[in-house]
Amino acid sequence: MHGPLRYITVTAPDGEIIGYAWGSADDTGWIHRAASSTDAFRAGVDWFGRIRDAHRRGLTPAGVLELFSHEPGVGPVTEAPDMKAIEELARIVTPADDRRLVDQLVPAGHPAWTWLAEAYDSLTDEDREVVWDRGGGTPPDGAVQTPVPVYSEQVQRVLRALQDLGAVTEEYRWMGHPLPEVPSAGHLAPADAVRAATALVCGERFYPGLIGDALHSGLLDALVLSLRAWHAEPAAEGASSARSGRTEDDSGRQAPAVPVPVVAPRTSGSAPRPPQAPVRCRYCGGSPAVDVSFRAHRGLLLLLGFRRMDGPMCRMCGLGVHRALTTHTLCWGWWSPLSLVLFGPLTLVRNLLAVRRVERLAQPGPGLLGRRFDPGLPVHRRPRAYVALIPLVWVVCLIVAAVRAGG
Ligand SMILES: [Zn+2]
């Protein structure tokens, strides 16, 4: 694939990036975001079909991107220097991805936690010595005997407990990723522990001996200890998982509905953390960037529409997204009773809080991916924003009328 590519970013209604549709001079394609949820992955399969069909019907690649860029949840057509740059974007793992994996774990009171603790604590050195069954006896003529590892009952109890805990989950597509390694500090973040448990238990069926290797390398120990530490103190460990992600500041995100209360991060530095990569803008790759979400709301009688775009975003992209979504809300966010009194104002206030964090950022350095969002005109210079005056005037008139009628 030579020459620059163009692409669009496709986002699910809940704000999760599903993947990227690209177009070159003569072809189109789709790249799934590697860490996406199963729902997003399935949606991505649909998107891939739609893009391929549009191209087959005779639209040029540029035409396909242009067509789909107007759909809800799809970003503007953007240029990338090459395919690697888009693949790089698709590899970004967000704190929300980490949280989704940790959310798969059963709550603290569940007996599976005891099963794991009991099974793991009673592992002996013998259990760690994996025996390979080479078939024994004389194989029938022509049969090929493949040796299979035989894990002790104790090891199998640990593996079963990991499954009962929810640490083996289809929310992690282990096949597309290398096996997590034990970091030099020996401490795995809880989300990485779920990744490792999933890859080991599922991968063993395809690569017999994987679990035996993990018993020797310390990976199995690291993941069990990480899960148990999370179980002992889910709130703090959950927060530390988010901190170890690509973004440093997670306070602007909406916490999912999980029994993980948000607490102040622990200040005691237990193990030195490896230096973190700078936070990069999800849309253009520029830095500095901050993890924020912007929202848009549309209310039309009974039809309520919500849209959310997640960061990390640099100053330019953040301003661009803020101005577009806020103007949309000012124009469309009033036309149902709930929207007027609740969702419209709430969306605007949240966007204002988020944009203040973006405005504090310095101008981003050159992006990895060329073009970034154009912030465009400020909201107050966009005529559509003044549609908001209509419901405002109407409410004032209602109040005045009510006061007069009462007086
Ligand atoms: Zn940016």
Does one domain contain both 244 and 353? no
Q: What is the Cα gyration radius of the chain?
A: 26
What residues pair up with 307 in beta bridges, in sequence order?
296
For 289-300, b where at least 16 C-beta lie within 10 A, e where not — what string? Answer: bbbbbbbbbbbe
CA atoms of 5 and 228, how far apart (whole Å): 46
Residue 263 domain flag: no
* Among the listed residues 220, 229, 358, 214, the one whose alpha carbon sits nearest the alpha carbon of residue 286: 358
Write down the pLDDT at residue 251: 36
Residue 310 lies in a domain: yes
Answer whether 208's CB lies under 8 Å from 148's CB. yes
Q: Which of 1, 51, 53, 54 is nearest to 26 (CA)?
A: 1
**What span, in angstroms and rounded, lies between the C-alpha atoms of 16 and 35?**
10
368 CA from centroid of ligand 1 (Å) = 10
The number of distinct structural domains making up the chain is 3
Distance (Å) from CA 36 to ligand 1 centroid: 21
- Is residue 322 predicted with pLDDT exceeding 60? yes
Same domain, 102 and 221: yes
Model confidence band, residue 277 (pLDDT cutoffs 50, 70, 90): low
Q: Confirm whether 118 is domain-assigned.
A: yes
Cα of 350 from ligand 1 centre, angstroms: 20
Residues 302 and 222 in one domain: no
pLDDT for the residue 245:
38
Same domain for 371 and 397, yes or no, is yes
Indicate whether 204 and 122 sit together in one domain: yes
Ligand 1 geometric centre to CA of 314 (Å): 4
Predicted pLDDT of residue 6: 94
d(CA 131, ligand 1 centre) in Å: 53
Domain that holds residue 82: 5-92
Q: Are residues 147 and 132 in the same domain?
A: yes
Question: Could you give the CA distance from residue 318 to residue 360 in angstroms, rounded to a whole number?
Answer: 11
Q: How far is the CA of 68 from the centre of ligand 1 (A)?
A: 21
Task: Tell me the mean pLDDT in the region 324-338.
Answer: 90
Query: 318 C-alpha to center of ligand 1: Å?
Result: 7
Q: Is 169:198 a contact under the CB 8 Å cutoff?
A: yes
| Contact by Cβ (8 Å): 274, 183 | yes
Q: How far is the CA of 373 from the centre of ligand 1 (A)?
A: 6
Q: How far is the CA of 283 from the centre of ligand 1 (A)?
A: 5
Answer yes or no: is 68 within a domain.
yes
- Same domain? For 308 and 356 the reply is yes
Is residue 209 located within the same domain as residue 326?
Answer: no
Q: Residue 270: inside a domain, yes or no?
A: no
Ligand 1 midpoint to CA 60 (Å): 27
Is residue 168 in a domain?
A: yes
The pLDDT tens digits for 102-119 are 999 999 889 999 999 999
Are residues 140 and 73 located together in one domain of the fold?
Answer: no
| Rounded distance from Cα 394 to ligand 1 centre (Å) | 38
Q: Which has the minimum average pLDDT: 132-146, 308-322, 348-362?
A: 132-146
What SS3 class is residue 372? Answer: coil
- The CA 315 to ligand 1 mean position distance, Å, reads 7
Give tens-digit pLDDT for 245-261: 343 333 333 333 333 33
328 alpha carbon to ligand 1 midpoint, in Å? 20
What number is the average pLDDT over the span 184-205? 89
107 and 75 fall within a common domain: no
Distance 44 CA to ligand 1 centre (A): 23
> How much distance in Å is there from the Cα of 54 to the middle of ligand 1?
29
Task: Among 66, 92, 118, give the residue marking a domain's end.
Answer: 92
pLDDT of residue 323: 94
pLDDT of residue 364: 83
**Residue 232 covered by a domain:** yes
Residue where a domain terminates, one of 237, 254, 271: 254
Of 34, 66, 92, which closes a domain? 92
| Average pLDDT across the chain, whole number | 83
What pLDDT, on the 0 to 100 scale, is given for residue 47? Answer: 94
Same domain, 113 and 81: no
Q: Identify which of 33, 35, 43, 109 has the alpha carbon closest to the alpha carbon of residue 71.
A: 43
Residue 241 alpha carbon to ligand 1 centre in Å:
24
pTM flag (> 0.85)? no
Q: Ligand 1 centre from 331 Cα, in Å?
A: 25
Same domain, 43 and 104: no
The Å distance, Cα 14 to ligand 1 centre, comes to 20
Task: Determine the distance separating the centroid of ligand 1 and the alpha carbon of 313, expressed in angstroms.
Answer: 5
Over residues 192-213, mean pLDDT: 90
Task: Count CB neighbours of 249 within 10 A.
Answer: 16
CA of 196 to the centre of ligand 1 (A): 32
